[in-house]
Structures are given as structure tokens and as C-alpha cells.
Amino acid sequence: MKLTLVVLFLMIVGAGCSEDPNLVGLGVLPPQDTLHVATATTFATGDTTFLSRVTGGSSTLLFGNYQTLEARSLLAFSQFSATIPSTAAIDSAVITFKINYRFRDSSGTVGIEAHRFSRAFATTGFNWDSASVSGSYSDTVSGALLQTITSSDTVIRLRIDTTTIRQWISSDIGRLILLPTGNFITGFTAYNATTLVIGPQLTIFYNDSLNKAFNTAAALCVANGTIPSAPGRVSLQAGVAYRGVLRFDSLSIPARVSVTQAILEVPVDTAASLTNSYTDDRIIAHLVRKSAFPFDSLALATTCTPAYEGLQKVYRADIKAIVQQWLLKEPNNGLVIRASGELSTFDRLLVYGASAPAGLRPKITVTYTALP
């Protein structure tokens, strides 16, 4: 009998301590003291396309012309004196490039003019403007190539004149800028000292029967150009690069909430975008801490991947970390978006902006738990 009473008592106490109040408990707790889940959707209220300028190294060295766009590559070689005597008779020299990218077609005419570059450069902080300073490179052509390549071609070779090579051996450093003269964008594999991936390689032939190969000491590409105006759209041009800002000023969520999900959807104008089989079909969304150009204080990079809403392609990601920061401490200056292949492709991704038709405007759908 005593055992039965104890069991009944424990069952009553356990039921009374449930996290979810029963019908009796609901009458005791006021509505404002309970958790509840809600959803809010906000659409883009403004947008901007701006020129950011690419700086930095990449696994691909872009080179060539396409429409109003131009990409140049810079190469540096060093440590000649350790293996080639200053008195050596230079027979010839050639730079071999491995092709790892094409835009947009698989074949075209690659045209190169190589000029001696007089300034040191590094992969950080060096861009088109840096490479275009007056007097940065010689007017003399140190090597030239005009070659039609097809989809089966994997390498191209550029001969460098022996006078240039002798000067490099004398100074123990050699730099080139490659100016495009063809009608085709291609990409070359860049040297990686960590993985030992072979990039542009200079081979010097000397004293009739000897030769020595040199990997690049530094290599980068710089690009420039204008892109067509596209009303109602934001243009993300890799390689140069153009980026976009999407503003969501109408986002209205109560205080004291915990964001469980914030789905960003950015519809894509696939007909106006320029892509091919090499395209990196993603965009990156960033929290931006500055409300004005150059929008360069970025955080919380989030990759948006392609998805479909019916027949409409969108880039989609959960940006709950960004939205939660807007609610906690960061100003809502919107999002900076950019092409994922900004350093290694020439993709042009056109996405719809704030002035697009209602069904095509970027949106954020926020699911949150309101705290008591």
C-alpha cells in the first residue's frame, strides 16, 4: 500500500514539472511568458554595383581580351646566378604555360606581347592601377606570340629574346608583364611552392647543350574593363572585379529573439549572365560594416549555392549568423555579394535587384523564436 502511494506521488510531481504546460498550466502562464516561433520575410529595398578591384594570388593566371574586358599577367623569375654563369652563351629561352581555363569559348586566338616590368610586385595589394603606373614597363617587346588554340591544346610556349635573359642573369631578377593582343580569355596554372604544382616555367638553353628551368618567384593577374548597364540587376563580374550591395532596410524583427534560420534567395538572370563549363556557379554574401564605398569592411562570408524555385534559378544560403548580428550589435548596412570565382574566372553573374519585378526581387525569410 505504501509503495503504491509513493509511485502515485512521483507521477503527479513529474507531470506538474513538464516544460510544456498542460491545460491547467496554460491558464496559469500569461501569453507573454511563453516561447513562440514566427516567420518574417523582407525584400531588397536598394542595390548598388561597384568596382572593387581584385588583389591577391590565385591558382589561375587570367590573360586575354573579351568585349570591353582585359586581363594581364605579371611574372617574376630569380636566382639565375646560382646555376648559370654570367659568362654563359645564351642560346634561347622559352616560357611554358599550362592552360587550365578558357572563357567563353573553348578555342580562339591567344596573342601575347611580353615587356620587361621594372617594378617589384607582390600578390597582396597590387592591382590594375598599380601595374598601369607610367613607366612601369619597357616599350620594347621581349617576346611575342599569336596562336590559335583549340579545346585539345594544353600548353603554349612563348620565346623570350636572349638580350632580356642576359640582363636578368646580370641582375639576378627578371620580371615581365604580358599584354594581350588576341581575342580570347585563357587561364594558366600558377606555381604553388607548397603543393609543387608547376606553373609558368622559364627554361634557358645555354652553352650549346645545357638548360635550366625556373619556376616563378611571383605571379599574379590584373584586369580592367567596363560592363554593360543592366537596369533592375546587379552585375557581379569576376576577374576585375565588380561586386554588389543589397540593402534590406525594411527588415523588422522584435527585440529579444533568437534567429533559427534566415534564408537569403537572390534570383539570377541566366540569359544575361556570361558563363561556361569552367564557371564557379556560386556567389558569396558578406556582412558589411560600412554603408558607403568602398564597402571594404566585410565579415561572415557565406556561400550561396544555386537552387530553383519552379523554373527560376536562385542563389540561396542560410545567413542567420549575419541577421543575428544585425539584431545584436552590427548596423544593417545590407549585404555585399560577389562572384565566388572572383580571383580565378571571368564569370559575369547578373542577379536581380531591388527594382526588379516583385517575384524576382532578392528576399530574406527569417524564422525566429521570440523570448519571454
Ranges of each domain in the chain:
37-52+241-370, 60-223
Query: Model-level pTM?
Result: 0.83
356: which residues sit within 8 A by CB, 6+ positions away?
232, 233, 267
Cis bond before residue 331 (omega within 30° of 0): no
Counting other chains too, the contacts that 160-166 makes at CB distance below 8 Å and 24 or more residues apart are 160/93, 160/94, 160/95, 160/114, 160/202, 161/93, 162/90, 162/91, 162/92, 162/93, 164/93, 164/116, 165/90, 165/93, 165/204, 166/90
pLDDT-derived band at 157 (thresholds 50, 70, 90) equals: very high
Separation CA 345–CA 151 (nearest Å): 17
Cβ atoms of 137 and 177 closer than 8 Å: yes
Strand 173-180 relative to strand 60-66: parallel, antiparallel, unpaired? unpaired
pLDDT-derived band at 22 (thresholds 50, 70, 90) equals: low
Kindly tell me if the per-residue pLDDT of 315 is higher than 90.
yes
Q: What is the pLDDT of residues 37-83, one digit of tens each?
A: 889 999 999 999 999 987 766 778 999 998 889 999 999 999 998 89
